[in-house]
């Protein structure tokens, strides 16, 4: 399913230089924080995609390796950097392994929710732990499920409405699944629809997955700049750590 979504057409449309998730105000704090957490060591990005984060992080002097399931996304990455600059292992982030040991593994922009079962998500944590030594960190950026906006009997919420775009989510609360629907309108008013399934995860459930994999929660903030995480936060950046050897 994930390979079908991240096909050649999606890879061509994914990059939006200077806007959206590629906007400097979004990307710069992400890269700044990850560079600091790498601590001069090597970083591994799960689901590296087209290199939105990996490329600028490598430019900061952090050696970055990626794992990516979609070959078209890797092809798009290769238009920016070569294999020597950012090596990529083709495979699933829950099971594929990259050579060597890392000080940082990271998984950004809600991507862990692309794993559609709890078992796969737990396996992803264990795979991160497999690549880290004592003191190594696993960083996850993830949205907080917005079920408080879902009245009884209603199955969908609009989470963003702006000129040229409407985003809505449909929920299956029994199975903890959500499908994100993205409607993009051209100048003639014609709409193009893309959809993606996710398994939503509460922060407390994420923490339990981390515990099962041998991590401890080091910090949680509302964003990459370090804002306080509160009951009203719509997303979080959680840093998990393999306990150092005493």
| Tens digit of each residue's pLDDT (9 = 90 or more) over 30-60 | 999 999 999 999 999 999 999 999 999 999 9
How do 88-90 and 64-68 pair as beta strands?
Answer: parallel
How far apart CA 128 and CA 4 sit, in angstroms, is: 24
Which band of pLDDT confidence, cut at 50, 70 and 90, is reported for residue 104? Answer: very high
Determine which helix (DSSP H) or strand (DSSP E) holds 2, and give its type and residue range: helix 2-5
Alpha helix segments (H runs only) across 189-242 = 203-212
Residue with more model confidence, 236 or 20: 236
Q: Give whole-number Cα distances, 229 to 100, 109, 193, 199, 241, in Å.
A: 34, 17, 33, 22, 18
Q: What is the mean pLDDT of the chain?
A: 91
Helix (H) or strand (E) holding 195: strand 191-199
Q: What region, left, alpha or beta, does residue 78 occupy, with left being phi > 0 and alpha being psi -120 to 50 degrees?
A: alpha
- Residue 14's pLDDT band, with cuts at 50, 70 and 90, is low
Q: Where are the beta strands (DSSP E) in 23-98?
A: 43-46, 64-68, 88-90
- Structure tokens, 104: 């940082």
- Which residues on adjacent β-strands are paired with residue 149? none
């Amino acid at each position: 399913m994930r390979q079908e979504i991240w096909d050649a057409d999606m890879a061509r449309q994914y990059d939006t230089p200077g806007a959206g998730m590629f906007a400097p105000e979004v990307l710069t704090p992400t890269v700044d924080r990850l560079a600091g957490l790498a601590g001069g060591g090597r970083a591994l990005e799960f689901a590296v995609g087209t290199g939105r984060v990996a490329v600028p992080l490598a430019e900061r002097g952090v050696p970055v390796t990626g794992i990516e399931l979609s070959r078209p996304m890797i092809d798009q990455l290769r238009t920016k950097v070569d294999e020597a600059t950012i090596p990529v292992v083709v495979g699933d982030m829950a099971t594929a392994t990259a050579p060597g040991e890392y000080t940082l593994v990271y998984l950004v922009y809600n991507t862990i929710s692309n794993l559609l079962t709890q078992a796969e998500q737990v396996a992803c944590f264990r795979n991160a732990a497999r690549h880290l030594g004592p003191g190594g960190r696993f960083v996850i950026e993830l949205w907080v499920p917005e079920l408080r906006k879902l009245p009884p009997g209603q199955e969908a919420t609009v989470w963003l409405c702006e000129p040229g775009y409407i985003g809505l989510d449909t929920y299956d609360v029994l199975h903890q699944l959500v499908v994100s629907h993205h409607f993009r309108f051209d100048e003639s008013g014609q709409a193009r629809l893309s959809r993606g399934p996710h398994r939503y995860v509460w922060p407390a459930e994420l923490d339990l997955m981390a515990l099962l994999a041998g991590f401890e929660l080091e910090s949680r903030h509302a964003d990459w700049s370090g804002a306080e995480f509160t009951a009203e936060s719509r997303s979080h950046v959680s840093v998990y750590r393999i306990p150092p050897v005493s």
